[in-house]
Amino acid sequence: MAKAEELQGLRDEVEQVSLEIVRLLGKRMELVARIADAKKKLGEPLVDFEVERRVRSRLSDEARKLGISEELVNKITTLMLQESVKLQEAGEKPKRQVSHFDIFRRARELEAEGKRVVRLEVGEPDLGAPGEVAGATAEAVKQGRSRYSDAKGIAELRKKLAEYLSNKYNTEVKAENLILTPGGRFAIYLTMRTTLNMGDEIIIIDPSWPMYKNCAEFLGVRPVVVNTSVENGWLPNADEVAEKITQATRAIVLNYPCNPTGKVIDRRTFRKLLDIARENNLYVISDEVYADYSFSEYPPSVLEYDDANFIRVSSFSKSWGMTGYRVGYVTASRELVERMAKINGMLITCVPEF
Amino acid sequence: MAKAEELQGLRDEVEQVSLEIVRLLGKRMELVARIADAKKKLGEPLVDFEVERRVRSRLSDEARKLGISEELVNKITTLMLQESVKLQEAGEKPKRQVSHFDIFRRARELEAEGKRVVRLEVGEPDLGAPGEVAGATAEAVKQGRSRYSDAKGIAELRKKLAEYLSNKYNTEVKAENLILTPGGRFAIYLTMRTTLNMGDEIIIIDPSWPMYKNCAEFLGVRPVVVNTSVENGWLPNADEVAEKITQATRAIVLNYPCNPTGKVIDRRTFRKLLDIARENNLYVISDEVYADYSFSEYPPSVLEYDDANFIRVSSFSKSWGMTGYRVGYVTASRELVERMAKINGMLITCVPEF
C-alpha cells in the first residue's frame, strides 16, 4: 500500500513538472513575440541562424551536464525553434519560390505549342534506356515476373551491381551492401532517414540539388550551407566546412560530379573532406548519380575508401538513361542497409522485379 | 541603441527560460526512473496508456489555457513520453515479434525444398496480372515511355480511374482527386504523413494489417486500438470507438473487406462509424484494397459519402493481381492530393509511366 501511494505521489510530481514545462513554453513564446517586435523595429532579419545555434549548443551542453538524452533535448529545441520562427513569421508574406519543376512544366507547355526548347532544368539524359534493357523488361513483364519481391531488390541484380561496383572502383562491394530503391530521391530519403534525427544538422555545399535541403527539412533536420562560387571553381573550402561543424552535425552531403554546377572534384580535396568527416564522426552521403558524366578526370568515389560511415547514393537514371524506370540504389554498410530495408519494406514493400 | 539592448535582454531571458525547461526535463527523467522502480516492485506493467493519456490531456488543456500551440505541446509531450518509455524499458529484454514477412520467408524456404505450401501470410492473389496489362506494359517499355512523368501519375490513367470509380460508386470522382503511388503501402504512408502530426492519435480496429500501426509509430503517431473478436463477428462497436476519441485523435482507419479477418462491414455500421468521425472532425482513412473480394454483400465505400475528410486508399495489387507492378492510389480532396503530390514528387519523383 505504501508503495502504491509512493507511486501515486511520484506520478503527481511528474505531472507538476510537466505542467511547469508547458508554462515555461508559454513564457518562451511570449518573449519570442516581443523579440520579433524588437527585430522589426531594428530592421533585423527574423531568423538569425547564429543565435539559434548558440541556443542549441547551450541547451545541449546543459543536457550533457544533467546526464539526460542530448537527442531528446535536440529534438525539443528544434520544435521550440521551429515554433519561434512560425510565430515571428506570422503576418509576413509567404515567399513563393520558383522550383525547377515549375520550369519543367513551363517547358512542356512551350513544347506542346510546338516551340523548340533546350531543356536544362531536369537531369533527363537524351539517350533513353538501352534497347536490351527495354527488351528484357518487356520480356520479364510478359513472363509474369510481377509479384512481390525482396525489400532490398532482387538478389541477382544486387549481386551483379556489387560486381560492377567492385570492378569499377577496385574495391569489394558485396550484395549485402546494396539496396534498390524507387529512384535516387528515395535513396537519399532512406539514407537521411536512417542516419539523421530531428534536430540534427547536415552540411550541404551550395549550389546544390534542392532535394538535399528539402528532404532534410522534411525530417526536421537543419541544413547548414557551405557556399562555393564560380570564382573559386565551385571548389568547397575544407576549412570552411570544418568551421561549420557543431555538436549537432551528423552528416555531410557530397555530390560530385555536381548538379547543378557540373564540378568534378579533385581527389585531394575529396580526400580532405572525407578526413574531416572521419575526424568528426560524421556520415558522408556521397551522391554519385553523375559518376559517368565527367569529360576529364575520373571522378573520385567514397567506395575507394573503406569506412562504415560513408554512403554512396546512385541510380540507373543518369548513367543508363533509365529515368522512368525509377531505379535508385544505396551502397552502405550491412547494418545501415538492414535498417534501410526495414523502412523500404514498410513503405513500398519492394521495387518492381521487372 | 536602447532597442538593441532590449533585444539582447530579451534573448538572454529566452535562453534562461530554455535552460530552465531543460533542467525540468532532467528532473522529470529522474522522477520517471523512480516510478519505473516503484512499478517493478509492485509488479505493474511499465507502460500505462491511461496514465499517458491523462498527462497528454492535462498538458494540452494547459496549452489551450495559455494560448500556445497545442500541436507544439503535443509533440513535446510525445517526445517526453517516448523518452520515459525508453528509460523505463532500459535493461528489459527486447520483445522479438514474428512478422508476417518472417512467415513469407519461411514459406519460400520450404517451397525451395520442394514442399507444397498453402500461402495465407501475404495478400498475393493467384491470378497474376491480366494478359492485356502485361502486353501493354511491355509495349510501353519498348516504345520508350520511360522518362520522368507527373508526380500524381499520368493524366490518362487518373482520368480513366476517376471514370471507373465514379461509375462503380455512383459518385463524382475527378482526376484531380487522384494520386498514384508506388504501391498501397506508400498510399497509406502519404495519407498518414499528410493528415497526422507527431503526437496525434489514430484509431485502429484490431486485428489489423500491421502496416497501420507501424506507419503511425514511424511518424510518432500513437495508435489507439479498438478490439473486435470472432464472437461478435469482427464487428467494431461504435460506442467503443467513440469512447476512445480524445483531443489528440485525428483519424480512424477502416479496412473493409478486412485484412486479416475477411470481414465485410454492413452499411449501417459503416455509416455509424463515419458519423462518429464527422462529429469529431476526424479524417477517415478507408483502406479498400480488398473491395473486390466480397462473396456476399457489395462492400460500402467512403466514396459513397461526400466529405473532404474521407480518404480512400486502394491499389492495383489485389483487384487485378498486379502486386509486382507496385501501383497504389489515393482518392481524396483536391487539397489533400496536392499536399500528397508535393511529398510524392520529393521522395520518388513519379511512378513509372509504363
Mean pLDDT by 10 residues, chain B (354 residues): 84 93 93 89 80 86 90 89 82 62 79 83 67 70 68 87 94 95 92 94 95 94 94 95 91 95 94 97 95 82 95 84 80 96 84 70
Q: Is the dihedral of CA A33, A38, A43, A47 positive or negative?
A: negative
Answer yes or no: is pLDDT of A16 > 60. yes
Residue with cell 515567399: A95
Residue with cell 520522368: B148
CB A227 within 8 A of CB A241: no
pLDDT attached to residue B81: 87
Which residues from B are below 8 Å from A73, CB to CB? 22, 25
Does residue B115 lie within any of the structural domains?
no
Residues in Cβ contact with A55 at an 8 Å cutoff, skipping those fewer than 6 apart = A77, A81, B14, B15, B18
In a shared domain, residues A193 and A54: no
ipTM for the whole predicted complex goes beyond 0.90: no
Local structure of B224: helix, strand or coil: strand
Size of interface A-B (CB pairs under 8 A): 263
Report the C-alpha gap between A331 and A328 in whole angstroms. Answer: 10
Across the interface, of B128, B145, B348, the residue whose CB is closest to A182 is: B348
CA A314 to chain centre: 13
- Chain A's closest residue to B34, CA to CA, is A10
Which residues from B are below 8 Å from A147, CB to CB? 124, 128, 323-324
Domain C-terminal end among B55, B71, B89: B89
pLDDT attached to residue A86: 83
Does residue A354 lie within any of the structural domains?
no
pLDDT attached to residue A199: 85
pLDDT attached to residue B189: 95
Does residue A45 lie within any of the structural domains?
yes
Domain containing residue A46: 23-89
Does residue A4 lie within any of the structural domains?
no
The DSSP symbol for B67 reads T
**A170: closest CA of chain B, how far (Å):** 31
Report the C-alpha gap between B189 and B340 in whole angstroms. Answer: 10
pLDDT attached to residue B126: 66
If you average pLDDT over residues A328-339, what whole number do you get?
95
Phi-psi category of residue B168: left, alpha or beta, with phi > 0 → left and psi -120 to 50 → alpha: alpha
In a shared domain, residues A172 and A54: no
Cis peptide bond N-terminal to A300, omega within 30: no
Report the C-alpha gap between B192 and B215 in whole angstroms. Answer: 8
In a shared domain, residues A235 and A103: no
Does residue B175 lie within any of the structural domains?
yes
Q: Which of A252, A250, A222, A247 is nearest to A82 (CA)?
A: A222
Domain C-terminal end among B43, B60, B89: B89
Number of domains in chain B: 2
Does residue B289 lie within any of the structural domains?
yes
Residues in Cβ contact with B65 at an 8 Å cutoff, skipping those fewer than 6 apart = none
8 Å CB contact of A326 and B14: no
- Chain A's closest residue to B28, CA to CA, is A14
If you average pLDDT over residues A183-199, what whole number do you get?
93
Mean pLDDT of chain A: 87
Q: Which of B293, B294, B204, B198 is nearest to B248 (CA)?
A: B198
In a shared domain, residues B155 and B33: no
Return the CATH number at A35.
1.20.59.10
What confidence tens digit (pLDDT) does each residue in A272-294 have?
999 999 999 999 999 998 888 87
Q: Which three cell numbers stand for residue B227?
A: 478490439
8 Å CB contact of A79 and B76: yes
Q: Which of A207, A225, A217 is nearest to B342 (CA)?
A: A217
Cα separation values, A348 from A157, B184, B258, B317, Å:
18, 8, 20, 12
In a shared domain, residues A118 and A222: no
Does residue A183 lie within any of the structural domains?
yes
Across the interface, of A19, A134, A183, the residue whose CB is closest to B59 is: A19
Q: Higher-confidence residue: A88 or B281?
A: B281
pLDDT attached to residue A167: 94
What confidence tens digit (pLDDT) does each residue in A164-176 have?
999 999 999 999 9
**Chain B interface, mutation test: which of A105, A189, A346, most B Cβ atoms within 10 Å?**
A346
In a shared domain, residues A254 and A290: yes
Q: Which of B348, B347, B145, B148 is nearest to A124 (CA)?
A: B148
In a shared domain, residues B271 and B181: yes
CA atoms within 13 A on the CB side of A1: 0
CB A327 within 8 A of CB A180: yes
8 Å CB contact of A22 and B147: no
pLDDT attached to residue A121: 64
In a shared domain, residues B191 and B292: yes
Local structure of A327: helix, strand or coil: coil
In a shared domain, residues B269 and B183: yes
Local structure of A192: helix, strand or coil: helix
The DSSP symbol for A235 reads P
A33: number of Cβ within 10 Å: 14
Burial class (CB in 10 A: 0-12, 13-18, 19+), A107: middle
In a shared domain, residues A145 and A253: yes
pLDDT attached to residue B146: 62
**A48: closest CA of chain B, how far (Å):** 12
In a shared domain, residues A106 and A32: no
Which residues from B are below 8 Å from A34, CB to CB? 10
pLDDT attached to residue A44: 83
Q: Higher-confidence residue: A256 or B121?
A: A256
Answer yes or no: is pLDDT of A329 > 80. yes
pLDDT attached to residue A196: 96
CB B317 within 8 A of CB B183: yes
Report the C-alpha gap between A263 and A210 in whole angstroms. Answer: 16
Cα separation values, A100 from A46, A105, B161, B306, Å:
27, 9, 29, 36
Does residue B27 lie within any of the structural domains?
yes
**Chain A interface, mutation test: which of B28, B48, B49, B84, most A Cβ atoms within 10 Å?**
B28
In a shared domain, residues A280 and A143: yes
Across the interface, of A44, A59, A351, the residue whose CB is closest to B326 is: A351
Long-range contacts of A82-86 (CB under 8 A, 24+ apart): A82/A220, A83/A29, A83/A32, A83/B69, A83/B72, A84/A28, A84/A29, A84/A32, A85/A46, A85/A47
Report the C-alpha gap between B142 and A100 in whole angstroms. Answer: 29
CB B138 within 8 A of CB A141: yes
Domain C-terminal end among B70, B89, B108: B89
> How many helical (H) and strand (E) elements, i.e. helices and strands, does chain B have?
12, 7
Least-confidence region, from A190-199, A307-316, A317-326, B298-307: A317-326
8 Å CB contact of B79 and A83: no
